[in-house]
Every structure is written in C-alpha cells, then in structure tokens.
Amino acid sequence: MAGSAISTNGDYPVEENLVLSSIPDKQLAEMHSYRLERIRQQMRLQDVSLCVLASPVSLRYAVNFVEYQMFQAHIPTAYLFIPLEGPVTLFGASQRHYSLVDDYCPSRFVTPFDGGVDLTENCRQLVADIGVFMDKHRLCDGVLALERLSPLISQQLVHEGFQLADAECLVEQARMIKHPVELACIEQSVAVAEYGIAQMQQALRPGITENQLWSVLHQVNIAHGGDWIEGKMLASGPRTNPWLQEATNRVIQSGELVAFDTDMIGPHGYLADISRTWLCGDLPPSTEQKDAYRHAWEEIQYNTELIRPGVGFNELAELAFARQQQYRARRYVCAFHGAGLSDEYPKIYYPEDSRHNTYDDVLQENMVMCVESYSGADNGCEGVKLEQMVRVTKDGCETISRYPFEEVLLS
C-alpha cells in the first residue's frame, strides 16, 4: 500500500501504552450499573413503566450488549425489556454473560430477513409478549416507551389501548450526563484515535489514495479493541469543498488539503469525534488555504470558550462565532453536538438554521460536546474541516481531543 504506515511483516501499529491502559472490570461494572439506572431515572420522570429497546447503541448503553452491532442496526433481531421494577429481559441474544440481564428469551422475528415479508403474526406475538410481561410485573399503569421497530407493532399496541412514548428520546436524555468511568472510556477512545491520526499523518504523501489513507485509522481502531467507524469522511483537494464527500480511490496530490472526521466508535463503544485538515507534501500553502484554515481554527477557539454549565442550548447558538459571509453558504450541519457512545443529543444549529434550535435544556457538568467548523467558500477550490471534543466542567470546559493543529496553515 503506497505510503502506508502499516507493514506486511506483522509489525502493525499498536501502541502498547494504550493497550495496557485498560479500565478495570470493577470500574466498568460501576459504569454499566450507572447507565441502566440513568434510564430508569428518566422512566420515573416520564411515568414510563416499560422500555422496549432495539437500537444497538441503546442496548450497549443499557446492558453492554455487544453482539453484531452493525447488523443489529439494520436487522434488529435482539431487543430488551427494561421495566421500572422487575427483571431486565433480553430477547434474541446469543450470549448469556450480561451481568445486568436477569432473564433471556428467544425473540419474535419482526424483520423481513428473520421473519419473511408478512410480519403480521410475529408482530402480534410480540405485542402479546409485552402485554403478558406488563401484567405479570404489574406495570399496566404507566406508559410504554418503544424504540423504532416495525410500525405494525406500534399500530397493534395503540389498537389495544397502550399509551406509547418514544424510548429513543428517553435514552438520549439518560445518556447526556457521563459517569467518571465513561469519561475515562472516552479519553481512551480519543487516545486510540489520535494514535491512528498520527499514523495517518505519517502515511500521508503524494500518491497515496484517500481510501488507503483512511484504512490506517480503521486498522488502528480494531487493533486496539474499537468497534467501527461511522463513515468514510476523508477527502482531498477539490473534494474537500463542499464537505461531506466520502473517501474514494482518488490519488492525493502535492499541495492539496486533506480533511477528515474520525467518527470513530472506539474501545468500550465510545466515540472519538475529531477533525483535522492537513497540507500534503512540501509546497507552501496558498492564501485561500490559509484563510479557510484560519477561519475554521478561530471558530473552534471562540466557540469552545462559550461552553460552561448553565448556558442554554439556544443561547449557545446565539452566542456562537460570527462566520464570514463567504463561508456561510457551505456551513457545516451544526456548530455543536453531544457525544458519548455515538453522536448524541443535542445538535445545535447555526443561526441560518435556527428554526431547528427549539431546545429548553442547558449545558451541565460532565456532558461531552463536540465543537465543529467547516470553512469552504461558495466558489472556493478547497475547504477546511476542524472539530474538537470537550467536557463540560464545574466552571467551564476542558479539551479532550489534543491532536495538534497544522502550524503551516496558521502561520
């Protein structure tokens, strides 16, 4: 692989200090219990008697379910019942080692892959299972919170008189405030990502393709016990503007910008969400490249300073960095967003998209936020993507991602 940091002789890029810095099982168990209790706290607040979860991220958060997570994302074979009081019951799991699960049951097949194209009877059986479970554990007085499953299930539940709520919203609210061990897990994922970023930067040279360069981060993540990467957000040269063009076999040339966004689900399932932009080769940067980079860097610095407990989500949007007119049309999809096991609530939009900023919440200590910038002129040749992760502290914030910025583009 041209320019790769990965050799073919078994000398793979594994950083021993990262491997050895594993978090003790006792601390992980405390974190897992905290996460389940956070869900139940939200259930109490919202008068929910039973949560039915199927998203792989929600299952990971609730009981540390780690089976075929990407498969589960589009073919939800497993699902979980979390009662306000009573046994946590997992349906369709292959393993039986989940410490927070009390009972295991086979699942009803409610996807076309598992159950065929007529799911009517299987969905009816799952609805019956919910009714029996709620009767048995005296949960019939509250709301049933349901994550995204076949609409046949929701229709049948409404027909039978159940009061429904969206479990996805409930779990997102639970995930906002991080346990200290969650913060340690995020730090570990970031450390792995930044080691991978360093390997990528070492591999970057004219002649390497976008896909080859991007594959380095994948290899480092898997080698250190990570899970997956959400997309292929790496682009070079003219493909950096507009943003959101994923990696291809395009060959990177000297003097071009290379921009990426890790979107990496690392060890213990936690997100490392970092963006950097580099200049390939030894040619001096152009004025356009330096101007775009300086604008993105200044936005990141300014907006990071705004983060502190008590600041409203809408207020954060209103106070945000005033972007130059030439960079507004191709702005990023948001200025800030939450992070944990994945991208999380809230997603705070730019003033141009303020119709979406309808939040009543405020920043709280031990939330983790990502500060975003994309700066590419409407008629420009290239663009710059930068992103930092920060933790909300008692009186401000601290930066979690520490990979250096590109000095040659800031000079």
pLDDT of residue 19: 55
Question: Alpha-carbon distance 41 to 47, whole Å?
Answer: 10
Q: Give the end-to-end CA distance of the chain in Å, rounded to a whole number.
A: 32
Burial class of residue 129, CB neighbours in 10 A (0-12, 13-18, 19+): middle
pLDDT of residue 13: 58
Question: Alpha-carbon distance 157 to 135, whole Å?
Answer: 14
**What are the C-alpha distances in Å from 331 to residues 110, 197, 230, 234?**
40, 24, 21, 17
Q: 348: Cβ–Cβ under 8 A, 6 or more apart, which residues?
A: 313, 316, 317, 334, 335, 336, 337, 357, 359
- Provide DSSP, 165-222: EEHHHHHHHHHTSPPHHHHHHHHHHHHHHHHHHHHHHHH--TT-BHHHHHHHHHHHHH
**Unique residue bearing structure tokens 């997956």:** 228
Judged by DSSP in three states, 112 sits in helix
Question: Alpha-carbon distance 108 to 156, whole Å?
Answer: 15
pLDDT of residue 2: 37
pLDDT of residue 18: 61
DSSP element (H, E) containing 42: helix 25-45
Asked if 327 and 295 count as a contact pair (C-beta separation under 8 A), the reply is: yes
- Please tell me the pTM assigned to this model: 0.93
Spell out the per-residue pLDDT of the chain, length 411, in tens. 333 343 333 455 566 566 546 889 999 999 999 999 999 999 999 999 999 999 999 999 999 999 999 999 999 999 999 999 999 999 999 999 999 999 999 999 999 999 999 999 999 999 999 999 999 999 988 899 999 899 999 999 999 999 999 999 999 999 999 999 999 999 999 999 999 999 999 999 999 999 999 999 999 999 999 999 999 999 999 999 999 999 999 999 999 999 999 999 999 999 999 999 999 999 999 999 999 999 999 999 999 999 999 999 999 999 999 999 999 999 999 999 999 999 999 999 998 887 887 888 999 999 999 999 999 999 899 999 999 999 999 999 999 999 999 999 998
Edge-to-edge strand list for the sheet holding 143-146: 103-105, 89-91, 79-83, 48-53, 143-146, 164-166
Of 205, 197, 258, 260, nearest in space to 230 by CA: 260
Angle between helices 56-63 and 25-45 (to 10 degrees): 110
Domains along the chain with CATH numbers:
46-175 (3.40.350.10), 180-410 (3.90.230.10)
Per DSSP (E only), the strands in 237-283 are 257-261, 264-265, 271-272, 275-279
Question: Alpha-carbon distance 389 to 46, whole Å?
Answer: 30
pLDDT of residue 8: 30
Count other C-beta atoms under 10 Å from residue 203's C-beta: 19
pLDDT of residue 411: 87
Asked if 167 and 130 count as a contact pair (C-beta separation under 8 A), the reply is: no
Strand partners, 103: 89
